[in-house]
């Protein structure tokens, strides 16, 4: 039965629990066994907290036996991206500079997960400080895509996406700064959600770019993603950017369908070159399906999309150069041994602790903010960001949602873009405008191209998650096909308290 337990979505596990046909301990053990059997191949986890996960599962079972009222995700195993701090549990942000960092508190998202009875299996691999589109920039080695272990899972939340796709976890938490939930979800064939900026607390999230970062769910179907977002969303007084009293009911209208819904299709998301034909074909087929279900589909144009990627790669590095200045070897994390003075200590600590992509982005950001270049680069990028946001606002006066592909390509081979940063950055061309505007978006599996997953992206206005989930759920239910990756070769490892 353990194999079946790792294949069920959270809402079906809830039914098993309610009927007494499975326990949280049994389900947690099944997923820990799955990690043990497959993670030497995938390397999705950096830290597996098996003993704590089983203790949490036993507590859920005891509460259920005592007749306590539990939430729909109580006892459901989850993979947590290693960029959210966890009290006493190693938190690295994928960087050697935080290799043995054990935080003194839990992030607000982690607190909410624990209160809901979610079982955190461990911390997942990621691009260092969430900077990347392939999870190859991790200081601890790359994660592999369960569909083809010679290909990337996407990034920066590639560890969480691969874990959910491979059956190592039922649910995952990632972060999305420029597409880092949606892009790996699309490449791994699962659902990924970038919520409205401010809907989910960033307190306890190790910052990359503070005006862009957002925490969100990864799941195998839309209902699970909506349930998970309900758990983690809501106002947090510890986060100054948290939205006061946002809507957090995403389930009650899930089965409402798309009849009469207005969906715009930006022509900029279907370029003549730069995107693979199979990806564009699956996206068009998905949009045609929504039209057959009753949506009113119309092509539109968002010309500022042309500038979004360039603006993003000025704003995000500028913010990261400020945020990462705190890693100086003085207060926490790595410290160079036997420095000659404090300057030598900082230089050698950062040289040894940061990887090449982090160094590249710090240098780009420092340059963009420097005297004489601020107005020419960072200031212009902020103006382009305003254009993107205004065009989205204008579009949402006409449409309920926008639709297009999530990624311009399917998963690419490991190493194919490591030495070509521009090619790597183009992986996010369809996702970064949403982050610049602060809107919501979801990617849902739309079929295969060349045997690899393709994602359909649905973009909603700010706080439009309920409508977005309704359309994604209608598409998913009508399509009715659930492609799963092939079985992975067996390999030991991944069950220890710390995965080096």
CA-CA distance, 223 to 246, in Å (whole number)? 20
Contact 204, 107 (CB under 8 A): yes
Catalytic residue, chosen from 134, 138, 180, 427, is 180
Contact 472, 192 (CB under 8 A): no
Residues in CB range of 183: below 8 A, 6 or more apart? 133, 154, 155, 406, 407, 427, 428, 431, 443
Residue 68: the pLDDT is 96
Residue 3: the pLDDT is 64
Catalytic residue, chosen from 133, 134, 138, 156, is 156
β-strand pairing of 119-124 with 45-48: antiparallel
> How confident is the prediction along the chain (500 residues), in pLDDT tens digits per residue?
466 899 999 999 999 999 999 999 999 999 999 999 999 999 999 999 999 999 999 999 999 999 999 999 999 999 999 999 999 999 999 999 999 899 999 999 999 999 999 999 999 999 999 999 999 999 999 999 999 999 999 999 999 999 999 999 999 999 999 999 999 999 999 999 999 999 999 999 999 999 999 999 999 999 999 999 999 999 999 999 999 999 999 999 999 999 999 999 999 999 999 999 999 999 999 999 999 999 999 999 999 999 999 999 999 999 999 999 999 998 888 999 999 999 999 999 999 999 999 999 999 999 999 988 899 999 999 999 999 999 999 999 999 999 999 999 999 999 999 999 989 999 999 999 999 999 999 999 999 999 999 999 999 999 999 999 999 999 999 999 889 999 987 654 443 344 43
Q: What is the phi/psi pair of residue 26, to 5°?
A: -60, -45
Contact 156, 127 (CB under 8 A): yes
CA-CA distance, 234 to 242, in Å (whole number)? 8
Q: Which residue has the tokens 């939205």?
A: 243
Max intra-chain CA distance, the chain:
70
Contact 431, 450 (CB under 8 A): no
> 164-195: buried (b, 16+ CB within 10 Å) or exposed (e) per residue?
bbbbbbbbbbbbbbbbbbbbbbbbbbbbbbbb
Terminal Cα-to-Cα distance of the chain (whole angstroms): 31
> 258-294: buried (b, 16+ CB within 10 Å) or exposed (e) per residue?
beebebbbbebbbeeeebbebbbebbbebbebbeebe
Alpha-carbon distances, residue 109 vs 78, 121, 242, 265 (angstroms): 13, 15, 12, 33
Q: Which residue has the tokens 């030495």?
A: 419
Catalytic residue, chosen from 81, 123, 134, 321, is 81
CA-CA distance, 191 to 441, in Å (whole number)? 11
Query: Is 242 one of the annotated active-site residues of the chain?
Result: no
* Torsion angle, alpha carbons of 178, 182, 184, 187, to 10: -130
Residue 331: the pLDDT is 83
Query: Is 81 one of the annotated active-site residues of the chain?
Result: yes
Q: What is the phi/psi pair of residue 358, to 5°?
A: -65, -45
Query: Is 156 one of the annotated active-site residues of the chain?
Result: yes
Q: Which residue has the tokens 């311009």?
A: 408
Which CATH number describes the domain made up of 2-265+275-301+394-479? 3.90.1300.10
CA-CA distance, 184 to 135, in Å (whole number)? 9
Q: Chain-centre distance of CA 394, in angstroms? A: 27
Q: Chain-centre distance of CA 263, in angstroms? A: 24
Q: What is the DSSP letter of 402?
A: E
């Amino acid at each position: 039965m353990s194999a079946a337990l790792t294949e069920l979505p959270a809402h079906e596990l809830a039914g098993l629990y309610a009927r007494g046909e499975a326990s949280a301990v049994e389900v947690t053990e099944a997923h820990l066994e799955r990690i043990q059997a497959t993670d030497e191949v995938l390397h999705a986890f950096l830290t597996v907290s098996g003993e704590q996960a089983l203790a949490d599962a036993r507590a859920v079972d005891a509460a259920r036996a005592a007749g306590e009222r539990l939430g729909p995700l109580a006892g459901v195993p989850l993979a947590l991206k290693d960029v959210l701090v966890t009290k006493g549990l190693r938190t690295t942000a994928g960087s050697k500079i935080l290799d043995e960092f054990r935080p003194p508190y839990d992030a607000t998202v982690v607190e909410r997960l624990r209160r809901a009875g979610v079982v955190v299996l461990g911390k997942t691999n990621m691009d260092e400080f969430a900077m990347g589109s392939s999870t190859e920039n991790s200081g601890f080695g790359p994660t592999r895509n369960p569909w083809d272990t010679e290909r990337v899972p996407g990034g920066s939340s590639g560890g969480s996406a691969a874990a959910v796709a491979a059956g190592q976890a039922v649910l995952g938490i990632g972060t999305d700064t420029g597409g880092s939930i949606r892009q790996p979800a699309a490449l791994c064939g699962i659902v990924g959600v970038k919520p409205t900026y401010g809907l989910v607390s960033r307190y306890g999230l190790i910052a990359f770019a503070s005006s862009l970062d957002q925490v969100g769910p990864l799941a195998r179907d839309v209902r699970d993603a909506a349930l998970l977002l309900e758990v983690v969303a809501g106002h947090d007084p510890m986060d100054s950017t948290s939205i006061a009293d946002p809507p957090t009911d995403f389930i009650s209208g899930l089965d409402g369908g798309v009849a009469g819904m207005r969906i715009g299709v930006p022509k900029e998301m279907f370029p003549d070159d730069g995107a693979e034909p199979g990806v564009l074909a699956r996206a068009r087929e998905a949009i045609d399906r929504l039209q057959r279900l009753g949506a009113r589909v119309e092509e539109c144009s968002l010309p500022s999309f042309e500038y979004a990627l360039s603006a993003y790669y000025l704003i995000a590095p500028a913010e990261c150069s400020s945020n990462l200045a705190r890693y100086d070897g003085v207060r926490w994390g790595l410290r160079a041994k036997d420095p000659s003075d404090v300057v030598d200590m900082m230089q050698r600590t950062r040289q040894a602790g940061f990887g090449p992509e982090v160094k590249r982005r710090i240098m780009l950001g420092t340059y963009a903010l420097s005297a004489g270049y601020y107005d020419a680069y960072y200031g212009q990028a902020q103006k382009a960001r305003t254009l993107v946001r205004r065009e989205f606002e204008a579009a949402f006066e006409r449409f309920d949602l926008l639709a297009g592909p999530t990624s311009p390509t399917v998963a690419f081979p490991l190493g194919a873009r490591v030495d070509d940063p521009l090619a790597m950055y183009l992986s996010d061309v369809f996702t970064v405008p949403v982050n610049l505007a602060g809107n919501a978006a979801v990617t849902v599996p739309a079929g295969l191209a060349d045997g690899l997953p393709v994602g359909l992206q649905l973009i909603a206005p700010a706080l439009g998650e309920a409508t977005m989930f309704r359309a994604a759920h209608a598409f998913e239910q009508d399509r009715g096909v659930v492609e799963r990756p092939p079985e992975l070769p067996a390999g030991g490892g991944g069950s220890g308290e710390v995965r080096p």
